[in-house]
Amino acid sequence: MSFQFYSNLSTDLSRLLDSADDYNVRMLIGVDGNARTFNAHSVILRARSAYFHAALSKDWAKTEEGSIIFKKENISPKIFQVILRYIYGGVLSCKLETGKEVLELLLAADEMQLEELIKPVQMHLLQEWEPWIRSNFIQLHRVSSANSAFKELFAYCSETLLDDPAILFKTGDYLTADEDTLISVLERNDLVLDEVDIWNHVIAWGKARMSETLVTDPNKWVDEDFQVLKSILKRCLPLVRVDTIRPEDFYNQVKPYKKILPRELYQAILKRQFIPSSPLSLNVLPPRTGIDSNLITWKHVDVIASWIDRKGRDQYYFKQNQYFFKLLLRGSVSGFTPKTFHELCDAKGPTVILIKPAHSNDLIGGYNPIGWRDDGGYQSTTDSFLFKLSDNNGTGKISRVRNKEHAVGWHSDCGPDFGMTDLCLHGHFRDESSCYCRPESYASAIFSNVETFSVEEYEVFQVKRKSTKCTSESGKSVMADGVMNGVAGGVTNGVASREPNRDTSRDSR
């Protein structure tokens, strides 16, 4: 015979916290102005927490008038009360008003070695307080990097920085970033910011490490001030593409700090501004593309994002664009077979495919809003489209789906597959005439006068919104109305699944 009565046990122990007459621990929590005394039982605290098992032991505990005295100034009474109720009742139920309080709860749970709280609190922070995380990104990145227990938070910060490196400069606390983090972002070729903004951020970061008495205006600096700043930024400055800054911005923003730049570089940039045809014969980094791609730049990303949102002529520019493109596959690195494509790109959600056909200057591709699988059949959608892009000016031609029932194909012997024959990479994509592009299910042809081709290079990008809310591993929030709920070890998550519309027939191509 076996029965479990955890609910009653939790209720009775929680009642014991509120109305017992045999407390033997006085807990002085917080500091002056925000302090409170709690009463508790050492036997419960020591049984539930390895931290308290040590802190309240005979070797460490301080007693006074028969009670153990425990002091903790670095945790607020509000957060400690949440911790204490969890220790007694095994229930985490509270309404926290700010992301800062949730982070404080996470840090307190970690310090007190309450391991089963750490993951649920992280998921709550990620699901309900993402805007706050993004506004305090450097702090969260630093905290999660320093603590191996915060795996979910660290994974989020790492992925966010990888997908959107510009977030480093979008937060109010970027001046506190460590040098290695700043350098890792400056090295990125896909950093989508005006170079003059990057310059200004780097200068501000360096000045934040100089004397607090330093005057702000560099025109009032002495040579020693410039030498100090140059020394602070010696690893960062070579990563700023100052030669790509517009002349007006260069004059207003860079010239005042010319003493921190190599004299040869400064003179060469000035010369090219007066004589645009003059070469810059110095070893400088190439302009940023704004995306991890060998085929397109951020200008093309803005065009594709505008097509996704059906913006018409009201096209995005990069500060408006709400999408980032995460590279999933590059043919020259991963290969040109359907097997590799499906291994790397299936079940990734919306994707953009970019294709450089062999023996052609064209750049073609398609957008799939429903994702990829390899289990056969055509999928229905009205939001997919094909396109052809120009080489460098961020313009192109779009062809939207006409026969929605055959918009996207899920076939194991094909890689990207749009329409009946509209754009399909088949077999080994580099084999002559192995791929085809014949208008059938989409409005118009995107590859002029060519029906078959082979691939020189192709890339696949996962399309993600920059402010996508995070979910738990199961896909469901552990929160309700901003209140954290859950009996420790007993939070149940569910996943709603949707079987896509499948047409298992496969017409002859």
DSSP notation for 429-486? TTSTT-EE---SSBSS-SSTT-SEE-EEEEEEEEEEETTPPP--TTSS-SEETTEE--
CB 129 within 8 A of CB 99: yes
pLDDT tens string 366-383 = 999 999 999 879 999 999
- Has residue 392 got a pLDDT over 70? no
- Has residue 509 got a pLDDT over 80? no
CB 442 within 8 A of CB 406: no
Q: What is the DSSP string of 147-195?
A: -TT-HHHHHHHHHHHHH-TTHHHHSTTGGG--HHHHHHHHT-TT--S-H
Beta strand 67-72 pairing with 25-31: parallel
Pick the range with the lowest mean pLDDT from 204-218, 275-289, 302-316. Answer: 275-289
What percent of the chain is helix, strand and coil (3-state, nearest 5)? 40, 20, 45
What residues contact 390, with CB distance under 8 A and at least 6 apart? 363, 396
CA–CA separation, 300 and 389 (whole Å): 7
Supply the DSSP symbol for 487. B
Q: 3-state DSSP call for residue 292? A: coil
- Residue range 412-432: mean pLDDT, rounded: 95
Mean pLDDT of all residues belonging to the chain? 87
For 323, counting Cβ atoms within 10 Å of its Cβ (0-12 exposed, 13-18 middle, 19+ buried), the class is: buried
Query: If we measure between CA atoms, which residue out of 328, 351, 326, 349 comes closest to residue 340?
Result: 328
- Has residue 496 got a pLDDT over 60? no
Query: If we measure between CA atoms, which residue out of 78, 60, 59 comes closest to residue 70?
Result: 60
CB 29 within 8 A of CB 72: yes
pLDDT tens string 301-319 = 889 999 999 987 667 665 5
Query: If we measure between CA atoms, which residue out of 287, 284, 330 comes closest to residue 191?
Result: 287
How much of the chain, in percent, has pLDDT values that exceed 90?
63
Q: What is the pLDDT of residue 480?
A: 33
CA–CA separation, 271 and 284 (whole Å): 16
Check residues 11 and 460 and name the one with the higher pLDDT.
460
CA–CA separation, 342 and 489 (whole Å): 36
406 residue type, one letter: H
Full 3-state SS string of 25-36: EEEEEEECCEEE
Q: What is the pLDDT of residue 486?
A: 52
Pick the range with the lowest mean pLDDT from 16-25, 439-448, 485-494. Answer: 485-494
Q: 3-state DSSP call for residue 200? A: helix
> Which CATH number describes the domain made up of 1-89?
3.30.710.10
- Has residue 17 got a pLDDT over 50? yes
CB 234 within 8 A of CB 261: no
Q: What is the pLDDT of residue 190?
A: 79
How much of the chain, in percent, has pLDDT values that exceed 70?
89
What residues contact 270, with CB distance under 8 A and at least 6 apart? none
Q: Model pTM greater than 0.85?
A: no
Number of helical (H) and strand (E) elements in the chain, helices listed first: 18, 19
CB 388 within 8 A of CB 363: yes
Domain boundaries, the chain: 1-89, 298-465
Q: What is the DSSP string of 392-405?
A: SSS-EEEEEBSSGG
